[in-house]
Amino acid sequence: MDGVALIGIDLGKHSFHIHGQDARGKAILRKKCTRKQLITFLATFRPCTVVMEACAGAHYMARQLFAFGHEVKLINPQFVRPFVKGNKNDFIDAEAICEAASRPNMRFVTPRTEAQQILSALHRVRESLVRDRVKASNQIHAFLLEFGISLPVGPAAIKQLPSVLAEHSLPARLVSVLTHLHMHYKYLVEQIAEVEKELVRQLREDDLGQRLLVVPGIGPITASLLSAELGDGKQYGCGRDFAASLGLVPRQYSTGGRANLLGISKRGNKTLRRLLVQCARSYMQRLDKQTGVMSDWVRKMLTRKHCNVVACALANKYARTVWSLAFRHTEFRLNQAPIAA
């Protein structure tokens, strides 16, 4: 065991498979253990490099192994898949993780802190509640339309549902169904408000999140998600890498020396990409009230490009600006020249 330089762990819910190899890549360790046995084994093992896929439980495990003195690296599962040889099983997966980590140009995922994981969990809960709210609203509209009642679009019409039910003669059972749906809708609205309050409270304790709120167009929801996903930004070489990870750069299909750039690639975190585009549209809607270098750049772009293209370009600039603020630990200045990272 003294010659082990790299350990690959295939994570599971209850069982974990370990593949260890020396500096030359020769396999010298192969072990299956439970979660408790894994912690005990690595707590007494000499410090080395431990590699895992960035999946459920990986960030928590990484923090524990850091405390034991190990160097921990996380890899996106899509980068491990090409290194799986032959039939798939857990030991082969652990070996493939080691093989992928041995590549000199491999990209790794920075382990998240507890605060980042909490913010990410709050955002996932909020997104689920918002989907349920939209579903309940659509059902109320659809059931009423079946009986010839068309409600206006928007949440204000749902709030007036009791008066609508009182004005029209509807079957008692349908009224009961709609009443329960309305109560469920109000419950979801209250829960979303509670989650957003908690996000704001978490954001007050986050240094990066407070600095992101200064950027025009970025609100607390986007700032908290950016803080949870980006961290210190050291996992990206430059701002363009972060924008590319969100799918905000052109998709390339070049061959034969001929460059062919298509629309944005739409890779990575689609929620964060959507929020950045919405921030860009919000900024453009109030462009007449905006001043500074960024507003001048947007106005110039709108004279040459469609507003949708400008919105994606501005979202790309947001991503690069946010990376610069996180990586260089600086403050946003309104009249600062556009980020060219």
CB 164 within 8 A of CB 143: no
Can you tell me the distance from the alpha carbon of 309 to that of 315, in angstroms, rounded to the nearest whole number?
Answer: 10
Looking at residue 336, what is its pLDDT?
58
Q: Where is 201: in which H helix or E strand?
A: helix 172-204
Taken as a whole, the chain contains a residue count of 341
- How many whole angstroms separate alpha carbon 76 and alpha carbon 235? 13
Measured between its terminal Cα atoms, the distance across the chain in Å is 44
Per-residue pLDDT at 2 exceeds 90: no
Q: Find out if CATH 3.40.718.10 is the number for domain 6-109.
A: no
What span, in angstroms and rounded, lies between the C-alpha atoms of 288 and 301? 15
What's the pLDDT score for residue 188?
Answer: 96
Is residue 164 helix, strand or coil? helix
Residues 16 and 56: their CA atoms lie apart, in Å, by 13
Average pLDDT for 78-93: 88
What CA–CA distance (Å, rounded) separates 282 from 276?
10
CA distance 203 to 263: 33
224 in Cβ contact with 210 (< 8 Å): no
The pLDDT-based confidence of 1 (bands split at 50, 70, 90) is low
Q: What does each C-alpha distance from 320 to 36, 101, 105, 284, 327 come to in angstroms?
A: 42, 27, 22, 18, 10
Given this model, what pLDDT does residue 193 score? 95
pLDDT tens digits along 295-338: 889 999 999 999 999 999 999 999 999 999 988 888 887 765 44
**Distance (Å, whole) CA 224 – CA 208:** 9
Q: What is the pLDDT of residue 87?
A: 83
pLDDT interval class at 294 (50, 70, 90): confident
5-48 pLDDT, tens digit each: 899 999 988 899 999 988 888 888 898 999 999 999 999 988 89
What's residue 315's pLDDT? 94
Q: Is the pLDDT of residue 62 over 90?
A: yes
- Centre a 10 Å sphere on the Cβ of residue 83 and count the other Cβ atoms it contains: 18
pLDDT for 280 equals: 94
Domain ranges of the chain: 6-109, 114-204, 217-328
Tracing tokens 């990410």 back to the chain, one arrives at: 120
Distance CA 120, CA 227 (A): 9
Structure tokens at 90: 């857990």
Report the percent of the chain where pLDDT is more than 90: 47
